[in-house]
Each structure stands twice: as structure tokens, then as C-alpha cells.
Amino acid sequence: MLENCILLSLFAKENLNRMSEQQLNRYDRLINEPSNDWDIYYWATEAKPPPAEFENDVMTMLRDFAKNKKKEQRLRQPDLEYLFEPP
């Protein structure tokens, strides 16, 4: 779904390069295990609480990111060139 694509890809661009291996594993589980993409969106936007197995530091980071405190325009996914830039 488009909402998750935008939210998760921008979150990934901003955060993956500074996450620990454990956090990366939790993020991988979050984006791959739930069978309903809308659940991830509802958890990230705090419309619904996540199940206990997804209530962790990565979910906290995602919720904070979803609040968009800087009021950035998030209208499309980032270009993937950032993946090839040195950290």
C-alpha cells in the first residue's frame, strides 16, 4: 500500500544506516511478518496498539518518525541513489 511504502522507505533512508544489528532484525521482522500491511500503518500512526512482539525500540522510532514533527512533505518514496553513497 502506498502509505506504507512512503512511510517505511523514508524511515529506512533516515534510520537504517545508524541502527544496530538487533534493531535491523526487529525492523526486518516488522516489515515482513505481519500479514496485513494496514496493521503496520495503524501501529505506526498509533491508531492501534501493536502486538507485544512488535512493541520495541524500533516501533518507538517508527511512531516518532510518523509524527513528522518537522512537518516535512512526504509525498513520494526517496530515490534509491542514497543506498550507494558512502555512510
Structural domain spans, the chain: 2-69
Contacts of residue 9, Cβ cutoff 8 Å, sequence gap at least 6: 77, 78
pLDDT value of position 75? 82
Residue 82: band (very low, low, confident or very high) from pLDDT cuts 50, 70, 90: low
pLDDT, tens only, 27-60: 999 999 999 999 999 999 999 999 999 999 999 9
Alpha carbon distance 1, 31 (integer Å): 12
Contact 76, 39 (CB under 8 A): no
According to DSSP, residue 85 is labeled S
Return phi, psi of residue 16, to 5°. -60, -35
Alpha carbon distance 40, 70 (integer Å): 22
